[in-house]
Amino acid sequence: MSEATIAAKPLWLRILQFPVIRIAALGGIIFFMMMLNNSFMLVFKQTPLVSILVTLGMGLAAMAVYAGWARFVERRAVSELSLAGAGREWAMGAAIGAGLITACVLALAALGMYRVEGLNSLIFLLPAVSMALSSGTFEELFFRGVLFRSIEDLFGSWIAVAASALLFGLVHLLNPAGTLAGAVYISIEAGLLLAAAYLITRRLWIGIGLHMAWNYTLSGIFSGIVSGGDSDPGLIKAVITGPDVLTGGAFGLESSVFALVFCTSAGVILMAIAVRRGHVAAGRWR
């Protein structure tokens, strides 16, 4: 962008386009909508179909806000939410997320620490849907769409990966059973993996699918605790026993050595592909 083009912009627009302001303004709006939707999920917890519809509507509204900011404030195409190929990329991410959590559970089962005692009715598959929709949509819009991109604009991709991963882990301390160990595990395994999922296409769909499927499979299928949150039964009646380093303890399987190894390895692989594709950028300071 030429200096003449920048000078032609009104001051207020230049202020809004600055990455730090984007985090505060757009990020603040997305974060508020996420908190509001979490309140709705509590209100409609006993009516999961209503909760799903409300969360779906709020998620679409958040995407519209994000796209509107990009078009009318940043004055750019919203390529990271382009619908072309979105279904394929979402499914790819969902397969990765469900596969990783299944690998963790199978590792526990092989050691006799995850024991299946039966199945609940299919209705138990519903409550986790709104939780997965909410976390996958709002958290990816905020942490990768707003936070990662803004830090990357200033300091480049590598600092954005580190900073967004750290903040993503720390925010999980707010969960009812949040622990420092859990926050560190989330920062390393999920922060890297989800940042790489964005960088590999520079679009949000793989990360959204991965995030949704990981949380849904862990809670809705395997009846596990998601990131130190509430423990609600899913399809499988299971008993999980064993040392916290392997089971994750009260924080859940994300604070286990299995998740750390499997997810971090997947993140390194995706990051290597992103680097090979030339998707790692230098920031303004360069």
Which contiguous run of DSSP H or E holds residue 236?
strand 236-240
Q: In the structure, what pLDDT confidence band is assigned to residue 286 with cuts at 50, 70 and 90?
A: low
- Average model confidence (pLDDT) for the chain? 93
- 185, 255 in Cβ contact below 8 A? yes
Residues 130 and 39: beta-carbon distance below 8 Å: no
pLDDT value for 130: 96
pTM of this prediction exceeds 0.85? yes
- State the average pLDDT over residues 134-140: 97
Please check the confidence at residue 148 and state whether its pLDDT lies above 70. yes
Segment 205-210 mean pLDDT: 98
Residue 230: predicted pLDDT: 74
pLDDT value of residue 42: 93
Can you give the residue ranges of every domain in the chain?
84-276
pLDDT by residue (tens digit) across 30-81? 999 999 999 999 999 999 999 999 999 999 999 999 999 999 999 999 999 9
| pLDDT higher than threshold 60 for residue 1 | no
User: Cβ contacts of residue 90 below 8 Å, gap of 6+?
Assistant: 205, 206, 208, 209
Which is nearest to 25 in space by CA: 146, 151, 160? 146
* Distance from C-alpha of 101 to C-alpha of 259, rounded to nearest angstrom: 7
| 3-state secondary structure at position 225 | coil
Average pLDDT of the segment spanning 254-277 = 96
Confidence (pLDDT) at 2: 47
pLDDT at residue 7 above 70?
A: no
Q: How confident is the model at residue 4 (pLDDT cuts 50, 70, 90)?
A: very low
Residues 211-264: tens digit of each pLDDT? 999 999 999 999 999 998 877 899 999 999 999 999 999 999 999 999 999 999
CA dihedral 235, 208, 33, 148 (to 10 degrees): 140
Confidence of residue 13 (pLDDT cuts 50, 70, 90): confident
pLDDT value at residue 176: 87
